[in-house]
Amino acid sequence: MSSTLKSRRPNIIVEILLVAVLIAVTAPIAWATLLAFLPNRAIVSSKWEFPFWVGNYTDIFSGGTLFLQLLNSVGIVVGTVFLCLAIGSVSGYSLAKLAPPNWVRLPALALAGVIPLIPPATLVPGLYVLLDTMGLLGTVPGLVLVNSLFNLPFAVLLMSSYFSSLPNELREAALVDGAHEMRTFWLIMLPLVRPGLAATGVFVGIMAWNEFLMGLTLTSGGETAPITVGIAGFLQQYAVTWGQLAAAGTIAAIPMILLAVFANRHIVAGLTAGSVKG
Amino acid sequence: MSASSGALGTTRARRRPGSNTARTAVIALAPFVVFCLALGALPFARVVQMGLSKVDLGATGFSFDWIGIGNFQAVLANKDAWEALGNTAVFIIATMLGSIITGLVLALLVNRAVLMLPVARNVLIWPAVIAPVVVSLIWLLILSPTAGGLNKVLENLGLPGQTWLNSGHGAMLSLIALDIWHWTPVVFLFIYTALQSISEELLEAARMDGASEGQILRRVTLPLLAPAIGAVAVVRVVMGVKVFDEMYLLTSGGPNGATTLVSQRIQLWFFQDLNYGEAAAFSILVVAITIAILLLALFTRSRMAGRS
Please, which pLDDT band fits residue A211 given cuts at 50, 70 and 90?
very high
CB contact under 8 A, B263 and A8: no
pLDDT digits over B88-117, tens only?
999 999 999 999 999 999 999 999 888 888
Residue B113: list chain A partners with CB under 8 A. Answer: 10, 14-15, 18
How many other C-beta atoms lie within 10 A of the C-beta of residue B166? 12
What pLDDT does residue B307 have?
A: 66
pLDDT in tens, B191-209: 998 898 888 888 888 888 8
Q: What is the mean pLDDT of residues B59-68?
A: 75
Which residues neighbour A267 within 8 Å (Cβ) at sequence distance 6 or greater?
A199, A202, A203, A206, A259, A260, B125, B129
**Cβ contact, residue pair A117, B291, below 8 Å:** yes
Say yes or no: A8 contacts chain B, CB-CB below 8 A.
yes
Domains of chain B (ranges; CATH) run: 2-51 (no CATH), 75-307 (1.10.3720.10)
Nearest CA in chain A to B151: A46
Task: Give A 181-240 residues with CB within 8 A of chain B.
Answer: 181-182, 206, 209-210, 212-213, 216-217, 228, 231-232, 235
Question: What are the structural domains, with CATH classification, of chain A?
Answer: 12-53 (no CATH), 63-277 (1.10.3720.10)
Answer yes or no: is pLDDT of B17 > 80. Answer: no
pLDDT of residue B185: 93
Q: Is the pLDDT of residue A91 over 70?
A: yes
Cα–Cα distance measured from residue B169 to residue A33, given in angstroms and rounded to the nearest whole number: 29
Burial class of residue B226 in the structure, from the number of CB atoms within 10 Å of its CB (0-12 exposed, 13-18 middle, 19+ buried): middle
Q: Is B63 helix (H, G, I), strand (E, B) or coil?
A: strand
Q: Which residue is closest to B186 within chain A, CA to CA?
A: A271
What pLDDT is attached to residue A278?
33
Residue B4 has pLDDT above 70, yes or no: no
pLDDT at A7: 53
What are residue B65's phi and psi, to 5 degrees?
Answer: -115, 120
Annotate chain A with three-state secondary structure: CCCCCCCCCCCHHHHHHHHHHHHHHHHHHHHHHHHHCCCHHHHHCCCCCCCCCCHHHHHHHCCCHHHHHHHHHHHHHHHHHHHHHHHHHHHHHHHHHCCCCHHHHHHHHHHHHHHHHCCHHHHHHHHHHHHHHHCCCCCHHHHHHHHHHHHHHHHHHHHHHHHHCCCHHHHHHHHHCCCCHHHHHHHHHHHHCHHHHHHHHHHHHHHHHHCCHHHHHCCCCHHHCCHHHHHHHHHHCCCCCHHHHHHHHHHHHHHHHHHHHHCHHHHHHHHCHHHHHC
Average pLDDT value for residue range B27-50 = 91
pLDDT of residue A4: 44
| DSSP-assigned beta bridge partners for residue B62 | B57
Q: How many angstroms separate the CA atoms of B209 and B201, rounded?
A: 12
Q: Is B57 helix (H, G, I), strand (E, B) or coil?
A: strand
Q: Between the ranges A64-68, A91-95, B46-50, where is the mean pLDDT highest?
A: A91-95
Does any CB of chain B come closer than 8 Å to the CB of residue A14? Answer: yes
pLDDT for the residue numbered A143: 96
Q: What integer pLDDT is reported at residue B213 of this predicted model?
A: 83
Q: What is the pLDDT of residue B75?
A: 84
Decide which of B10 and B301 is more confident. Answer: B301
| pLDDT over 70 percentage in chain B | 92
In angstroms, what CA-CA distances link B234 with A5, A111, B97, B238, B246? 34, 18, 11, 6, 21
Residue-wise pLDDT tens digits, A252-270:
999 999 998 998 888 888 8
On whether any CB of chain A is under 8 Å from the CB of B176, the answer is no
In tens, the pLDDT along A117-166 reads 888 888 887 898 889 889 999 999 999 999 999 999 999 999 999 999 89
CA B30, B34, B37 angle in degrees (round to 5)?
Answer: 140
A259–chain B nearest CA distance, Å: 9
Closest CA–CA distance from residue A131 to any residue of chain B (Å): 9
Residue A230 clears pLDDT 50, i.e. is over it: yes
Which DSSP symbol is given to B161? P
Residue A183 has pLDDT above 80, yes or no: yes
Which whole number is the average pLDDT over A246-250? 91
CB-based contact (8 Å) between B228 and chain A? yes
Beta-carbon pairs below 8 A across chains A and B: 327
Q: Do A125 and B46 touch (CB under 8 A)?
A: yes
B5 touches chain A (CB under 8 A): yes
* Chain B, window 274-293: residues with a beta carbon less than 8 angstroms from a chain A beta carbon: 276, 279-280, 283-284, 286-287, 290-291
Confidence (pLDDT) at A214: 93
The mean pLDDT value of chain A amounts to: 87
Q: What is the CA radius of gyration of chain A?
A: 23
The residues with which B14 forms a beta bridge, in sequence order, are none
Nearest-CA distance A75 → chain B (Å): 17
Is A107 touching B (CB cutoff 8 A)? yes
Q: How confident is the model at residue A276 (pLDDT cuts 50, 70, 90)?
A: very low
Residue from A233, A189, A209, A95 nearest B130 by CA? A209
Q: With an 8 Å Cβ cutoff, are A275 and B125 in contact?
A: no
Given the DSSP bridges, would you call strands B61-66 and B53-58 parallel, antiparallel or unpaired? antiparallel
B46 touches chain A (CB under 8 A): yes
Residues 133 through 172 of chain B touching chain A, CB cutoff 8 Å: 133-134, 136-142, 144, 146-147, 149, 152, 155-156
Q: 3-state class of B16 per DSSP?
A: coil
Per the CB < 8 A criterion, the answer to whether A111 and B24 are in contact is no
Task: Specify whether the CB–CB gap between A143 and A219 falls below 8 A.
Answer: yes
Show residues of chain B in contact with A111, CB under 8 Å. 32-33, 36-37, 40-41
Res A210 pLDDT > 90: yes
Torsion of CA A217, A222, A224, A227, to 10 degrees: 80
Minimal Cα distance from B149: which residue of A?
A: A31
Omega of the bond leading into B255 within 30 degrees of 0 (cis): yes
Q: For A123, which of B2, B44, B109 is closest by C-beta distance?
A: B44
User: pLDDT grade, residue A234 (50/70/90)?
Assistant: confident
Phi/psi of residue B268, each to 5°?
-65, -50
Question: What pLDDT, in 10s, does the model give residues A1-56?
Answer: 444 444 568 889 999 999 999 999 999 999 889 888 988 777 777 667 777 788 88
* Tally of CB atoms within 10 A around B209: 9
CA distance readout (Å), A45 to B141, B146, B151: 14, 10, 12
